[in-house]
Amino acid sequence: MQNDGEELQNDGLESCNGNERESFKDSRLVEDGNERESFRVPLGPGGKRIRVSRGDPVIFKPYWTKMSEECMVEIKGCELLSYLSDLRSVCWFMMPELRDAIKRLHALVGNAETSDRYIVVGNGSTQLFQAALFALSSSSSSDDQINVVAAAPYYSEYQDQTDILRSGIYKWSGDAMEYDKNEAYIEVVTSPNNPDGCMRGPVVNKKKCGVEGKLIHDLAYYWPQYTPITHRANHDLMLFTFSKCTGHAGSRIGWAIVKDKEIAKKMTKFIQMSSIGVSKESQTRVAKIIEVLCDSYKNFKLGSKESELFFEHSRRLMKERWEMLREVIKQNSGFSLPKFPRVYCNFTNESTETYPAFAWLKCTEDENCESYLEKKMKILVRGGSRFGSDPRYARLSMVGRGDDFDEFLKRLSKEHLKD
């Protein structure tokens, strides 16, 4: 479900000095003739902060630049006028070509079961998360608000996304590991987990609380560039997002794979009432990109180059970044990173390591990693306390722009040399 859009808004909130506000502009730089956004925050004479706090997956842009022609979509002015797409489907605003493309994608990767399931499309998986909370809570026999929990460290926006609507049927209740109420609950299981990249399962102690809870499986990062595909996920309610699958975060497309028809209907109703469906232009674009991605694997068997395969290309990028980061950390005793075992991947047919979209960095010499990195190195990250965890940890993005990542490594290396 993972959405880091709130960071984009918060960027403009620089502090004031006296009567003068520290200027922040949505600065544009020119790269290969095209404008792109600068993620660096101006500070004046003292230098620049490097922001590695958000999960904006622009790392994959070079690949899609090469595939630009193949992914082009033409939409005429007379097309896509209606709200409706397929009245025979539970999710009536979902275009059949997108539904078929999603099923084809999961069949290719082998990461989720789609047969005899209902697919619900949403404006990113953030909207689907709220739709799932609504559907599961309104299906409960309890008159009280259902508790929503996730095991710490949990995604930093779960709490705000749960509480923002001030719902009368559900509420945020914190760490699933500590949940012991004899009350109805929904546990969000994020696997691989954001922020630490670990594979997860449910953790609520059912014997202790005496209640059978409901589950939402957030599988935003269960793709082969981040983690070995060990099984075909087959849960009651699974969330995926196109932004983390291919890097096309701006298209704002996510989908839920749901076993229960009534839950799928209620999720569809929530999206209908909140946005009257999902943009058909976005659906059309995503369906085309998935078609190009899947066709490349089909054509690979006929003699195309491996460099044209998206997951292999993107996995190499993730591996390179993780190897560079680990090499820098190895030389710096002030930080540590989690270790991941090699696991057999059913997609690549080999034993591989995990290369998460985020690094869960621990500061071994300071009690507040976020503050330490900002003050000492002008590196902006998200601190562990935002994830319900120890402030000695911080999350940093591994999927941002290359020059920002390189500068981040350079600053960590310089700090080592100072020591």
Helix (H) or strand (E) holding 63, with range, is helix 61-66
Percentage, residues of the chain above pLDDT 70: 86
Low-confidence ranges of the chain (pLDDT < 50): 6-46, 416-417, 419
CA 167 – CA 154 distance, rounded (Å) = 21
Which residues have CB under 8 Å from 107's CB, separation 6+? Answer: 114
Say whether pTM exceeds 0.85. yes
Nearest to 99 by CA among 278, 232, 267, 237: 278
Please give the structure tokens belonging to residue 318.
């993730």
- Nearest of 155, 162, 177 to residue 129 by alpha carbon: 162
Peptide bond before residue 228 is cis, with ω within 30 degrees of 0: no
Q: Are strands 16-17 and 20-21 parallel, antiparallel or unpaired?
A: antiparallel
Give the Cα-Cα-Cα angle 357, 363, 366 (nearest 5 degrees).
150
Quote the CA–CA distance of 195 and 352 in Å, as a whole number. 20
Q: Is 277 left (phi over 0), alpha (psi -120 to 50) or beta?
A: left
Biggest CA pair distance of the chain: 66
- pLDDT value of residue 33: 36
Helices 261-275 and 124-138 meet at what angle, rounded to 10?
120
Contact predicate 296/310, CB 8 Å: yes
Residue among 288, 350, 297 nearest 319 (CA): 350
CA 99, 253, 239, 400 dihedral sign is positive
Q: What kind and span of H or E run contains 351? A: strand 350-352
Predicted pLDDT of residue 1: 65
pLDDT in tens, 261-298: 999 999 999 999 999 999 999 999 999 999 999 999 98
What are the tokens at 356?
A: 């998460």
Query: What is the pLDDT at residue 37?
Result: 39
Q: For residues 89 and 121, is the Cβ–Cβ distance under 8 A?
A: no
Q: CA 383, CA 364: separation in Å to the nearest integer?
A: 14
Query: How many Cα neighbours within 13 Å face the side chain of 152?
Result: 16
Looking up tokens 């509480």, which residue turns up? 163
Q: What DSSP string runs through 210-224? A: ----EEEEE-TT-ST
